[in-house]
């Protein structure tokens, strides 16, 4: 059974306003634990779906991987898992963006897509939705 880290990343229960004074240090903490996954987008797409904050949300958590499809680049590469937090797409921060904004950025990507991801098993349990907790447990 996988052990889920409860170490704080500084993101749980924070709002966009509360990190505006020091967003760089929070991102640096997250990037220390992150992994880089390079996907090659083809006709069948990247092969994953997102779970994110609705438009108008003030929570900073960002977008998580909801599912990895059996077809597509994510399945071929093999490391992207449900519950992983997407921090960056091709160098662009996804922290604090809504699901719709993240989808827009990802859909515009072509060819090589570089994801910077905080694996679900490294995410703190506080601040996660019940759906995110379930996804992380299933993929562990």
At 129 the pLDDT is 66
CA atoms within 13 A on the CB side of 8: 6
Structure confidence by residue, pLDDT tens digits, 69-117: 998 899 999 999 998 989 889 999 887 788 888 889 999 999 999 999 9
Task: Compute the CA torsion angle 27, 22, 94, 11 (nearest 10 deg).
Answer: 70
Sign of CA dihedral 21, 22, 26, 27: positive
At 28 the pLDDT is 73
At 17 the pLDDT is 42
Q: Distance (Å, rounded) from C-alpha 88 to C-alpha 72?
A: 19
């Amino acid at each position: 059974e996988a052990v889920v880290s409860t170490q704080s990343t500084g993101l749980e229960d924070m709002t966009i306003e509360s990190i505006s004074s020091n967003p760089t240090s929070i991102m640096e903490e997250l990037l220390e634990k992150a992994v880089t996954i390079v996907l090659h987008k083809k006709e069948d797409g990247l092969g994953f779906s997102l779970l994110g904050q609705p438009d108008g949300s003030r929570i900073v958590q960002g977008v998580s991987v909801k599912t990895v499809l059996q077809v597509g680049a994510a399945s071929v590469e093999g490391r992207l898992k449900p519950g992983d937090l997407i921090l960056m797409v091709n160098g662009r921060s996804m922290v604090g963006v809504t699901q719709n904004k993240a989808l827009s950025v990802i859909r515009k990507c072509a060819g090589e897509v570089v994801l910077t991801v905080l694996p679900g098993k490294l995410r703190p349990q506080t601040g996660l939705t019940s759906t995110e907790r379930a996804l992380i447990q299933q993929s562990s």
